[in-house]
Structure 1
């Protein structure tokens, strides 16, 4: 039986090297590993580049940077910031994304369910919007994408036609809204897997260490 395989992005973010005990564990779920990597490639290294007026690679890495910061994942933040910089995005934009993540830091899930039995689980929470200063740097489309990403990460129960209309009003097409939502969902999955693997890695005595905070990852 195969006990190692080609490292993927999740391995990279979790600091797992070929031959590591966790590498052997992941190799036992080959299809899961393949599918997660294929999802990453489809979103961030597509065979066909998105249209200039569509969900661009720069916007995808920007959203990924924001979501990584919201999850407090230093390794992922560094990884996606590098991808963002590779798209020629300025430091001003990266700093604006970092500022928005810091300003919108909260915990979840929160929000309101439709009136009914689940209403007992309703919980108040932050209603996030991009600051005017950052919006001037990020632009209308990316600002709307960050608001939508924050919604899906912290209070998806508040997803509504109004929230989708805000994206349409900002210039997002219906197709790109679907891709944006899928991207945020994938990132939430990816980062949770990374967190689990990092915990497992520490539990078996690994000496590897990540940056102490996402802020340090941005500053590097």
Structure 2
């Protein structure tokens, strides 16, 4: 599910404030193939043309996942994307505040509940949890897309947290030198 980045912007570098020439930037870019694959996965998963799960739904799932973990930088990013799209303000608020029960649409509520299970207690992402998705109107390909999205978001959150930790260590080491 990766493709070449559609823009020269690297979201992870942008969100973590990685400046070219910094020690952490150099370390991350030692494996440019991984950097490109990460950005390519982001571009593919948030491609407006991806069928089965609408872009606003995917962004709401991402916002909710970032809020649950928590990842303030990713929460702000996904909320900003939703606001740029003109997404339903009530849905954005519910996802950002961790209140999916406030969402009237059963399909979106089921997607957010599945997201919560996989983020907070992955063992609960069992057959019963999966069967709730088609019952709420998701096709099998849409369920696969949703699962891929949640897996990517989990990776993305950990990557941002890891880079932030490395930056802090490098900054502390630089201050002591």
TM-score class, shorter: 0.7 to 0.9
Give the Cα separation in 2 of the matches to 1:21 and 1:39.
25
Residue in structure 1 matching 2:122, options 156, 168, 177: 156
Larger fraction in helix: 2
- The match for 2:82 is 84
Query: Does structure 1 residue 96 correspond to structure 2 residue 94?
Result: yes
Give the Cα separation in 1 of the matches to 2:113 and 2:17.
30
- The match for 1:178 is 144
- The match for 1:111 is none
Q: TM-score, normalised by structure 1?
A: 0.70
Q: How many residues align?
A: 165
- Structure possessing the higher radius of gyration over alpha carbons: 1
Query: Does structure 1 residue 135 correspond to structure 2 residue 103?
Result: yes
Question: 1:68–1:76: 8 Å Cα contact kept in structure 2?
Answer: yes
**What SS class does the counterpart of residue 18 from structure 2 fall into?**
coil
- The match for 1:62 is 60
Question: 2:75–2:96: 8 Å Cα contact kept in structure 1?
Answer: no
Offset at residue 45 of structure 1 (A) = 2.8
- The match for 1:29 is 31
Q: TM-score, normalised by structure 2?
A: 0.87
- The match for 1:16 is 18
Q: Cα RMSD (Å) of the superposition? A: 1.6
Give the Cα separation in 2 of the matches to 1:161 and 1:25.
40
Give the Cα separation in 1 of the matches to 2:42 and 2:152.
8
Q: How does 1:39-78 map to 2 (within 5 A)?
A: 39-45=41-47, 49-51=49-51, 54-78=52-76
Give the Cα separation in 2 of the matches to 1:44 and 1:19.
29
Question: 2:115–2:150: 8 Å Cα contact kept in structure 1?
Answer: yes
Please identify runs of 4+ aligned residues in structure 1 that moved more than 6 A: none
Offset at residue 161 of structure 1 (A) = 1.9
Residue in structure 2 matching 1:195, options 158, 161, 167: 161
Question: 1:7–1:18: 8 Å Cα contact kept in structure 2?
Answer: no
**What SS class does the counterpart of residue 45 from structure 1 fall into?**
coil
